[in-house]
Amino acid sequence: MPVSVQFLGSEGVFSRSVLQALLVAGGNVVKVWLAGTTVSSVVAKAPGLAHLPSIPVENLNTLGGMARAWGIPQQAITSARELRSPQPAGIDPVDILLAACFPFRLPKWLLALPTNGCLNLHPSLLPAYRGPTPLFWQLRAGLSTGGITLHVMTEALDAGDIVAQESLPFPPGITAMEANQQLAEIGGHLVVGALATLEGGTFRRRSQEEQDASYFSWPKESDFRLCTHWPAERAFRFIRGTADWSSPYSLLLGDRRFSIAGVTGFSPDGVLDNPWEWRGAELWVRFRPGILRAIPVEIPSSHAAAYELFKMPR
């Protein structure tokens, strides 16, 4: 009989992709723990037919909708307080707890609940980039390669033994959403493979090399500042990759401070005589090395026409 799994996740593509991979592979998921709240269904009514009974329509694009479609019981967890001791009622023993984008830290009683331990999918190549937002920091560093790690959960955050790990190329311009989706798909395969091995006895695991460990917390406003001592490619990767955070990027050029809304490209070996100059609607900035082609939040009136042309569909 397949090992029993309780799945811990939240609404978002990462959790849904991992759960789907597990279910399609025949995984024995006995409960889904859903962080936060979700809309279980929507009501569909045709115009002019308001007098008819409401028709519940299952939204399979949510973690909760997926669980219901597969007949899996759910347990909503709206805050970390609900996980504190004593153990809540209705929590049954299980072989494996699997977390994929679950935002709450697990207490001791929960870590000790499963027979074969708690596993977590972390979107970095541990022990590098431990912490709550590893993808942001990898994109900020301009990495050309990222990855995902399936590891054993312990009281120390993201520090447990590694069960499986796989890298993923980050081409210039990849967005966090694109990287997140691809990492989730890889993570789903890692989970399926690890659980298949566990059914034969136990899974292989290796300790993390603490000398290679790094930890990053939640980004602050200052973490969106650009540095012209970076290569232009790093700045391009960072801005394109983290645009979903909807935070302007600050750039100090001499006595001028620019707020950057986006980028159109970069030249890795390009040279500018001046630290910056306008080229139509674009602000060209000299980095070390290369040139970044950026779009500031505010465009001088003399460049307004060029900016309007830039915004037109092509």
CATH number of residue 204's parent domain: 3.40.50.170
The DSSP letter of residue 13 is H
pLDDT for 192 equals 94
pLDDT at 186: 97
Mean pLDDT, the chain, as a whole number?
86
Residues of the chain with pLDDT > 90, as a percent, come to 65
**Same structural domain, 38 and 153:** yes
User: Do 191 and 285 fall within a single domain?
Assistant: no
Judgement on whether residues 36 and 124 belong to the same structural domain of the protein: yes
What mean pLDDT do residues 245-261 have? 91
| pLDDT over 60 at 211, yes or no | yes
How is 105-158 classified by DSSP, letter by letter? PPPHHHHTSSTT-EEEEESS-TTTTBSS-HHHHHHHTT-SEEEEEEEE--SSTT
Question: Is the separation of the CB atoms in 135 and 180 below 8 Å?
Answer: yes
pLDDT at position 280, please? 87
Q: Do 133 and 200 fall within a single domain?
A: yes
Q: Please give the structure tokens belonging to residue 132.
A: 């709550």
How many structural domains are present in the chain? Answer: 2
- CA distances (Å), 7 to each of 68, 165, 171, 232, 286, in order? 14, 19, 31, 41, 48
The pLDDT score that the predictor gives to residue 281 is 85
Q: What is the mean pLDDT of residues 3-16?
A: 92
Task: Tell which of 156, 180, 212 closes a domain.
Answer: 212
Per-residue pLDDT at 214 exceeds 60: yes
pLDDT in tens, 59-102: 557 888 899 999 999 988 888 777 776 665 556 778 999 999 99
Q: Tell me the pLDDT band of 236, cut-offs 50, 70 and 90.
A: very high
Between 281 and 54, the more confident residue is: 281
Q: Are residues 268 and 202 in the same domain?
A: no
Based on the fold, state whether residues 169 and 112 are members of the same structural domain: yes
Please, which pLDDT band fits residue 37 given cuts at 50, 70 and 90?
low
Residue 306 scores a pLDDT above 50: no
Alpha carbons 289 and 270: distance in angstroms, whole number: 7
Question: Does the pLDDT of residue 107 top 70, yes or no?
Answer: yes
C-alpha to C-alpha distances, 290 to 63, 148, 236, 266, nearest whole angstrom: 43, 30, 11, 7
Give the C-alpha separation, 276 to 282, whole Å.
10
CB distance 151 to 120 below 8 Å: yes
Verify that 144 and 284 share a domain, yes or no: no
Q: Do 146 and 245 share a domain, yes or no?
A: no
Long-range residue pairs from 247-254, CB within 8 A, at least 24 positions apart, any chain: 247/221, 248/224, 248/297, 249/224, 249/225, 250/224, 250/225, 250/226, 251/225, 251/226, 251/285, 251/294, 252/225, 253/228, 253/285
Query: How far is residue 9's CA from residue 159's CA, in Å, rounded to a whole number?
Result: 19
- Write the pLDDT tens digit of every residue in 39-50: 343 333 334 434
Tell me, yes or no, whether 174 and 252 share the same domain: no
| 176: nearest Cα among 125, 124, 130 | 124
Give the pLDDT mean for 308-314: 44
Let me know the angle formed at the C-alpha of 135 by 268 and 63, rounded to the nearest 5 degrees. Answer: 140
Q: How confident is the model at residue 246 (pLDDT cuts 50, 70, 90)?
A: confident
Do 140 and 204 fall into the same domain? Answer: yes
Q: What is the pLDDT of residue 266?
A: 97
Write out the residue range of the structural domain in which residue 271 sits. 221-311
User: C-alpha angle 124/292/176, rounded to 5°?
Assistant: 25
Is pLDDT of 136 > 80? yes
The reply to whether 148 and 241 lie within a common domain is no
At residue 300, the pLDDT reads 61
Mean pLDDT of 218-247: 95
How does DSSP assign 17-56, residue by residue?
A: HHHHHHHHTT-EEEEEEEES----EEEE--TT-TTSPPEE
Residues counted in the chain: 314
Average pLDDT for 187-198:
92
133 and 44 in a common domain: yes
Lowest mean pLDDT among 73-77, 176-180, 218-222, 265-269: 73-77
Phi, psi (rounded to 5 degrees) for 82: -70, -15
